Amino acid sequence: VLLQGSEAHHLAGVRRAHLGDHVLLFNGDGREYTARIVELSRRDVTLEITDVREPAREVGTRLVVAAPLPKGERAHFLLEKLTELGATEYVPLRSERSVIDPRAGRLDRLQKYVIEASKQCGRNTLMKVKAPADWNMYCRSAAVPPRRYVAHPRKPSASAQPAVPVEAAGDISIAVGPEGGFTEAEIASGLAAGWRPVSLGPRVLRIETAAIVLAAWAAGVSPCEP
């Protein structure tokens, strides 16, 4: 394998790898490749693959998270955490009250955050950053997985039931609204398209907190003894 550009620079210049060192490579295909460095310069690194593995680190279903892009560093944080939690797709959501409309260059940067986070957490399949979508169209799209949950901070009634347990399995969609919240009309469109509103408690959460809580729930994260 020949590494060039930023990955070669990172390995040779930043990490100061040496000839003969072993590293783990991944290319987003779900596998990880143990490789030994056989040639090294500041611009290029040549590696020989010595082992291939396919560790099970994916959630096993589509887990699509649609949320408006939060401002500044919080966008990086959101992408990093969704990658760690196993979301398979992130859709930057536009809605009536959303503020940030990501351009193409920004989307490339978001995908770079996914790659960085994947390296760090050992994920070998990349979460896809999709094109921005308008809630009113997105919520009724047939391409959106049919188990649909929209975070809506309304006080639950005394008879509120827990949302369907995730063991019910199958591809799942999660949506979170903008800082100013979804409008009542947007929530009504969602309900008509089969989205179930879910409350996450009595406090108002930031976009990224709500997205992380729901993604962890959908990914079936629950502490267990190792």
Instruction: Identify which of residues 28 and 197 has a Cβ nearer to ligand SAM in the complex.
Output: 197
Helix (H, G, I), strand (E, B) or coil at 34: strand
Token pair of 190 as six digits: 């969602």
Sketch the per residue contact string, 1 through 40, with ligand SAM: x for CB under 6 A, - otherwise: ----------------------------------------
Instruction: Identify which of residues 40 and 218 has a Cβ nearer to ligand SAM in the complex.
Output: 218
Alpha carbons 118 and 77: distance in angstroms, whole number: 13
Which one, of 127, 123, 126, lies nearest residue 24 by Cα? Answer: 123
Beta strands in the chain (DSSP E): 2-3, 22-25, 32-40, 45-53, 63-67, 89-94, 128-129, 133-134, 147-151, 172-175, 195-198
Residue 185: CB minimum distance to ligand SAM, A? 13
Contact 199, 155 (CB under 8 A): yes
Contact 1, 46 (CB under 8 A): yes
Residue from the set 210, 212, 218, 219 that interacts with ligand SAM by CB under 6 A = 210
Residue 113: CB minimum distance to ligand SAM, A? 20
Residue from the set 70, 102, 177, 190 that interacts with ligand SAM by CB under 6 A = 177
Backbone angles phi, psi at 169, to 5 degrees: 60, 165
Pairing of strands 22-25, 32-40: antiparallel
190 counts as binding ligand SAM under rule CB under 6 A: no
Only segment of 45-53, 86-94, 162-170, 195-203 that touches ligand SAM (CB under 6 A) = 195-203
100 counts as binding ligand SAM under rule CB under 6 A: no
Instruction: Identify which of residues 103 and 196 has a Cβ nearer to ligand SAM in the complex.
Output: 196
Residue 122: CB minimum distance to ligand SAM, A? 29
204 counts as binding ligand SAM under rule CB under 6 A: yes
Contact 135, 186 (CB under 8 A): yes
How many residues in total does the chain contain? 226
153 counts as binding ligand SAM under rule CB under 6 A: yes
Type of residue at 66: A
128 counts as binding ligand SAM under rule CB under 6 A: no
**Number of chain positions touching ligand SAM (CB under 6 A):** 17
Q: Residue numbers of the site for ligand SAM (CB under 6 A)?
A: 151-153, 176-177, 179, 181-182, 199-201, 203-207, 210
